[in-house]
Amino acid sequence: MAKLTRVVNSAQEFSIFLFVCSFYFVGYYPALCIESKFNYMGNDTIYSISVNGIPGSSNDEDTWTGLEQGEHSVYVDFYKYFGSQLASHLTSLESSATVSGSVDLVQDKILPRCKAFLDLFGIAASKFTSCAITNGRPMRFCERCVADYQITRDRYEEIEKDDYHDTTTGMTCKDLLLNADRIMIIQHAKQFVENLWEKSHCNSCFAHFEYNKTTSAVTFQYDNRTLEFRKRLMQTEKCMNITEDLILSHVNKSACEVCQPDYNDLNEYYSGIEETQKHKVCMDIADAMNMTRLRWSKTFKCTKKHRDVVPVLLLTVFFTFMPVMFYIGSKIHGVREERKIMKQKRMKTVVSSMDSST
């Protein structure tokens, strides 16, 4: 027991550990039990966490308005919250498990310590997944799920770093959880999380982010470019929101010119980011830019294109004439001197040798 404090080092987390331990005694994982557990989680806990977890996320108009420059510290009260909630439902769970009448196999029992790892990771991963899906559109994935992402990673790392050998089996939790079977659910879950993060180039949104074990908090700092982009985006949005009715109702093209400077400014700044980050722009930013562009050109129809056909056509005709002239010219002028055929040395007749042979 003493060793476990290394992993579960805050009071809040200890409560969940208790819950987990009791879970272990119940003997779980029959289908019914899992179902009830997931129902329970899906109904209120996860939801409340995703709302409370990150400041500003409750503001559904435009989340970015609630953010200002500088460092953001997010206190993740999830585990405290979750732990106490779970503990209070412990008894109901226990009863449901007995009701299901599952067979309590010896092999189903794993070390409480490993079980704790498993559950902590499971909760973190599912919370990340949920966060990713709910923030998929409009895309605010990177900014809103950074805490969950970091915690998931951290939980996984803890499993990986585990080197406490169990006295009876001699196995570490790492062996038991990561290398024991061929499905490797935990690795796959981890991979999924990492892939999502990688593909969205989320890292380029942030200057840095880290998870502090002692305070159970994820601190992160936005990249300066992200903040600057956001500022300009908001300005453009503001302008567009004001002029939207004007443009849509009157189809007055001159209204486009009101926001044109802001829009151009934003576009240029975005191109700058693309340039410096070598096309690995954080998806939140890329998507916001795309949406603004689409709104600008599709809804507002403000994109003006000048098809200066005449000079292009003239040039085309000019260029087309060049090969025609060239080939006609070379056909007329350049006729290569014919090559001379060399006389081959051949036997005049083969009669003599042939006659001698027959």
Partner 1 sequence: MGDRNVVRGFGERTPLLPSQRVLYQPDASIEVQYTLNTSTENKGIGNRYRRSVPYIETSGRYQNQEEEEDEEDPKLLEEHKVLSARFQTLDYDTCENELYQREEKSKGYRFLVKKNLARWLVMGLIGILTGIVASGIDYFIDLLSQLKYKLITDYINKCINNSCLSIPFVLFVSLNAGAVLIASILVAYVEPQAGGSGIPQIKCYLNGVKIPRVVRIKTLVSKCIGVVFSVVGGLAVGKEGPMIHSGAVIAAGISQGRSATFNKDFRVFEYFRTDHEKRDFVSGGAAAGVSAAFGAPVGGVLFSLEEGASYWNQSLTWRIFFASFISTFTLNVVLSYVKGHPWDLSNPGLINFGEFNSVTYNGVEIPIFLMIGAIGGLFGALFNMINHKLSVFRMRHVYRKSTKVVEAMIVAGITAMIAFVLMYFITDCSPLGNDPTEHPVQFFCSDGEFNGLAALFFQTPEASVKSLFHDPNNSYQPLTLSVFFLVYFCLSIWTYGLAVSSGLFIPALLTGAAWGRLVGIFLAQIFPNQGWVDPGKYALLGAAAQLGGVVRMTISLTVIITEATGNLSLGLPIMLVLMMAKWVGDYFNEGIYDIHIQLMAVPMIQWEPPPLSSNVLACEVMSHPVTTFRTVEKVGRIREKLEKETHHGFPVVDEYDPDADDNTTFGVFKGLILRDQLLVLLENKVFKDPHGNPCNTTKLSSKDFRNQYPRFPDIKQINISVHERECTMDLRPFMNPSPYTVSDRASLPRIFKLFRGLGLRHIVVINDTHQVVGMVTRKDLARYRLEHVGGELKLEEMDITHS
Which residues sit at the interface with partner 1, rule CB under 8 A? 267, 279, 286-287, 289-294, 296-298, 303-308, 311-312, 315-316, 319-320, 322-323, 326-327, 330-331, 333-336, 338-358
Neighbours of 301 (CB within 10 A): 13
Question: For 4, phi and psi rounded to 5 degrees?
Answer: -65, -20
CB of 209 to partner 1, least distance (A): 23
CB of 157 to partner 1, least distance (A): 23
DSSP secondary structure letter of residue 241: H
Contact 145, 156 (CB under 8 A): no
CB of 268 to partner 1, least distance (A): 10
If the CB atoms of residues 163 and 338 are measured against partner 1, the closer one turns out to be 338
Alpha carbon of residue 308 to chain centroid: 42
Neighbours of 9 (CB within 10 A): 12
Report how far apart, in Å, the C-alpha atoms of 149 and of each of 47, 77, 193, 211 are: 17, 15, 7, 10
If the CB atoms of residues 170 and 334 are measured against partner 1, the closer one turns out to be 334
If the CB atoms of residues 185 and 294 are measured against partner 1, the closer one turns out to be 294
- For 164: left if phi > 0, alpha if psi spans -120 to 50, otherwise beta; the answer is beta
If the CB atoms of residues 129 and 292 are measured against partner 1, the closer one turns out to be 292
CB of 292 to partner 1, least distance (A): 8
If the CB atoms of residues 163 and 308 are measured against partner 1, the closer one turns out to be 308
If the CB atoms of residues 15 and 236 are measured against partner 1, the closer one turns out to be 236
Neighbours of 108 (CB within 10 A): 13
CB of 129 to partner 1, least distance (A): 22
Question: For 243, phi and psi rounded to 5 degrees?
Answer: -85, -5
CB of 303 to partner 1, least distance (A): 5
